[in-house]
């Protein structure tokens, strides 16, 4: 499998540290609000990455944190006249609600920053011992110029970074590039005991502490949004490698942004849609489909039209699944004939194409194309007397491939007895060529939430979403 590594800026063959296993850390949300669809993108695409590794037989440890202490959390708590912990608990719960609705699987571990204060303090102490950090009036800062590799991820040298750095007159830093590892308590802020007095961790250090706690000093894959490349991930490298003396991460993966009117969607710009808002209007599976219809590193433009388009293509997948279920009802216990053999070969071809696409830096757009090739073959199968074996083969492939993308989760609902009674009555009316009655019944069935289609193998009933 090839993965584009932001560190080297090329696609590289993925080689796990431990055969058959892969450790992934994904930067999670700061839990001070509902998450927006820009936040949802990494959750979805890296959920797919994890699913693909599992599909390929890897044992995956997937860690995604909750940032539950920072300026935004504190501000929010003050605004709502409650505690930071209360805000954290609330929006962590809300995260799980939205994640579930988007079919984002829970991570192996969801660590919270505030539950890893001892690990954070230990890491800072190590950095101080290594001469890479210093205390200054209760704050602790990272000594950027003492870490020779600083800038290795973002590809900028120290001079360029320096010219861009904001210089605060009041700073207690040795150098403008230095960043906070530990912040001394200000009045009214939550704080923890430390060797430097009461205070709280800086933003970057928490990810270093939590990732290494669960994945070891060096692990396989670290992912997150492109905007985290600098300074967040650059700082993580400096902190972790600086403390351990070992490489931190082998592959850095960064997803592109979601734009609104070709502008980055962000909380600070105010041009964002929360997942909660979108859910009022759309089936969230369509949002997932939309995200996967482009490569994860490309920017995508969000609009109502795009979600509707995704919804339509998603329906095509469901139609194929239902078609297979319909075929299964009338299937026979016999070996596949020649045409069905060709169908099974086409299934294999789709699967192979799907794997090739996913192996190429997780090209979900091409992977979807491979699934749609399979969909077409499904519809070409004769409607009656199919071979059970061939149908089951198609069902297995379709569900296996869509499951990797986290699609096709809607249940195939059975038909209730009252609907079935109408369907049976309509069959009788059609046999009598009573088209008027037949159409009435079709309308009635439709009003009950089902579509009814006539096929050469009888009536087909599907639940409408």
Partner RNA sequence: GCACAGGUGGCAGAGUGGUUGAAUGCAUGGGACUGCAAAUCUCAUUCACGAAAGUGACGCAUCAGUUCGAAUCUGAUCCUGUGCUCCA
Among 188, 268, 431, 447, binds RNA (CB under 7 A): 268
Q: Residue 130 or residue 437: which is nearer to RNA going by CB?
A: 437
Q: Which stretch binds RNA (CB under 7 A): 128-136, 340-348, 362-370, 415-423?
A: 362-370
Least distance from RNA to the Cβ atom of residue 76, Å: 12
Residue 62 CB contacts under 8 Å (≥ 6 apart), including other chains: 24, 26, 50, 107, 108, 109
Q: Residue 216 or residue 299: which is nearer to RNA going by CB?
A: 299
Least distance from RNA to the Cβ atom of residue 2, Å: 11
Take residue 160 and report the two structure tokens written for it: 């360029």
Among 108, 185, 266, 444, binds RNA (CB under 7 A): 266
Window 110 to 149, contacts with RNA (CB under 7 A): none
Window 179 to 198, contacts with RNA (CB under 7 A): none
Q: Residue 125 or residue 440: which is nearer to RNA going by CB?
A: 440
Least distance from RNA to the Cβ atom of residue 353, Å: 9
Q: Which residue has the tokens 């919804």?
A: 311
168 binds RNA (CB under 7 A): no
240 binds RNA (CB under 7 A): no
Q: Check: CB of residue 104 under 8 Å from CB of residue 43.
A: yes
Q: Which stretch binds RNA (CB under 7 A): 51-59, 237-245, 273-281, 297-305?
A: 297-305
Among 298, 332, 385, 409, binds RNA (CB under 7 A): 298
Least distance from RNA to the Cβ atom of residue 381, Å: 9
3-class secondary structure for the chain? Answer: CEEEECCCCEEEECCCCCCCEEEEEECCCECCCCCEHHHHHHHHHHHHHHHHHHHCCCEEEEEECEECCCHHHHHHHHHCCCCHHHHHHHHHHHHHHHHHHCCCCCCCECCEHHHHHHHHHHHHHHHHHCCCEEEECCEEEECHHHCCCCCCCCCCCHHHHHHHCCCCCCCCCCCCCCCEEEEECCCCCCCECCCCCCEEECHHHHHHHHHHHHHCCCEEEEEEEHHHHHHHHHHHHHHHHHHHCCCCEEEEEEECCEEECCEECCCCCCCCCEHHHHHHHCCHHHHHHHHHCCCCCCCEECCHHHHHHHHHHHHHHHHHHHHHHHHHHCCECCCCCHHHHHHHHHHHHHHHHHHHHHHECCCHHHHHHHHHHHHHHHHHCCCCCCEHHHHHHHHHHHHHHHHHHCCCCCCCCCCCHHHHHHHHHHHHHHHCCCHHHHHHHHHHHHHCCEEEEEECCEEEEEECC
Q: Check: CB of residue 202 under 8 Å from CB of residue 182.
A: yes
Window 365 to 384, contacts with RNA (CB under 7 A): 365-366, 368-369, 372-373, 375-376, 379-380
Least distance from RNA to the Cβ atom of residue 198, Å: 22
Among 230, 282, 388, 457, binds RNA (CB under 7 A): 230
Among 73, 287, 294, 344, binds RNA (CB under 7 A): 294
Window 307 to 336, contacts with RNA (CB under 7 A): 308-309, 312-313, 315-316, 319, 323
Q: Residue 213 or residue 259: which is nearer to RNA going by CB?
A: 259
Q: Residue 86 or residue 227: which is nearer to RNA going by CB?
A: 227
Q: Residue 161 or residue 278: which is nearer to RNA going by CB?
A: 161
Least distance from RNA to the Cβ atom of residue 174, Å: 16
Q: Which stretch binds RNA (CB under 7 A): 125-133, 256-264, 340-348, 398-406?
A: 256-264
Number of residues that bind RNA (CB under 7 A): 83
456 binds RNA (CB under 7 A): yes
Closest C-alpha among 37, 49, 52 to residue 99: 37
Among 156, 244, 325, 444, binds RNA (CB under 7 A): 156
Q: Residue 418 or residue 453: which is nearer to RNA going by CB?
A: 453
Q: Residue 16 or residue 65: which is nearer to RNA going by CB?
A: 65
444 binds RNA (CB under 7 A): no
Window 14 to 73, contacts with RNA (CB under 7 A): 27, 29-30, 38-39, 41-42, 70-72
């Amino acid at each position: 499998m090839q993965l584009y590594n932001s560190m080297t800026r090329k696609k590289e063959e993925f080689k796990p540290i431990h055969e058959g296993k892969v450790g992934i850390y994904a930067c999670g949300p700061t839990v001070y609000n509902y998450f927006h669809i820009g936040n949802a993108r990494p959750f979805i695409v890296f959920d797919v990455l994890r699913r693909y590794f599992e599909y390929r037989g890897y044992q995956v440890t997937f860690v995604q944190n909750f940032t539950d202490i920072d300026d935004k959390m504190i501000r929010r708590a003050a605004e709502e006249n409650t505690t930071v912990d209360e805000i954290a608990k609330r929006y962590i719960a809300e995260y799980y609600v939205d994640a579930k609705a988007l079919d984002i699987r829970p991570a192996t571990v969801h660590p919270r920053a505030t539950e890893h204060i001892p690990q954070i303090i230990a890491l800072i102490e190590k950095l101080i011992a290594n001469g890479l950090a210093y205390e200054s009036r209760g704050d602790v800062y990272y000594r950027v110029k003492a870490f020779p590799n600083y800038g290795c991820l973002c590809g900028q040298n120290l001079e360029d970074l320096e010219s861009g750095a904001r210089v605060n007159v009041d700073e207690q830093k040795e150098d403008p590039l230095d960043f906070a590892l530990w912040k001394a308590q200000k009045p009214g802020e939550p704080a923890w005991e430390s060797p430097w007095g009461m205070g709280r961790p800086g933003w970057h250090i928490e990810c270093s502490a939590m990732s290494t706690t669960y994945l070891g000093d060096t692990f396989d894959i670290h992912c997150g949004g492109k905007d985290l490349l600098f300074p967040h991930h650059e700082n993580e490298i400096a902190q972790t490698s600086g403390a351990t003396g070992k490489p931190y991460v082998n592959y850095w993966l960064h997803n592109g942004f979601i734009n609104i009117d070709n502008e980055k969607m962000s909380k600070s710009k105010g041009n964002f849609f929360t997942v909660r808002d979108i859910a009022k209007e759309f089936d969230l599976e369509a949002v997932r489909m939309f995200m996967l219809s482009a490569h994860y590193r490309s920017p995508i433009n969000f609009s109502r039209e795009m979600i509707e388009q995704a919804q339509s293509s998603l329906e095509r997948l469901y139609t194929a699944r239902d078609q297979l279920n319909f075929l299964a009802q009338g299937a026979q216990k016999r070996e596949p004939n020649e045409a069905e053999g060709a169908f099974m070969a086409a299934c294999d071809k789709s699967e192979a194409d799907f794997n090739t696409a996913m192996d190429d830096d997780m090209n979900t757009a091409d992977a979807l194309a491979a699934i749609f090739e399979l969909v077409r073959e499904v519809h070409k199968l004769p409607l009656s007397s199919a071979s059970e074996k061939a149908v089951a083969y198609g069902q297995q492939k379709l569900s296996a491939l869509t499951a990797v993308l986290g699609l096709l989760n809607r249940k195939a609902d059975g038909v209730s007895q009252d609907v079935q009674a109408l369907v049976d009555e309509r069959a009788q009316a059609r046999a009598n060529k009573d088209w008027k009655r037949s159409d009435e019944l079709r309308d009635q069935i439709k009003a009950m939430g089902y579509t009814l289609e006539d096929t050469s193998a009888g009536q087909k009933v599907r639940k409408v979403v």
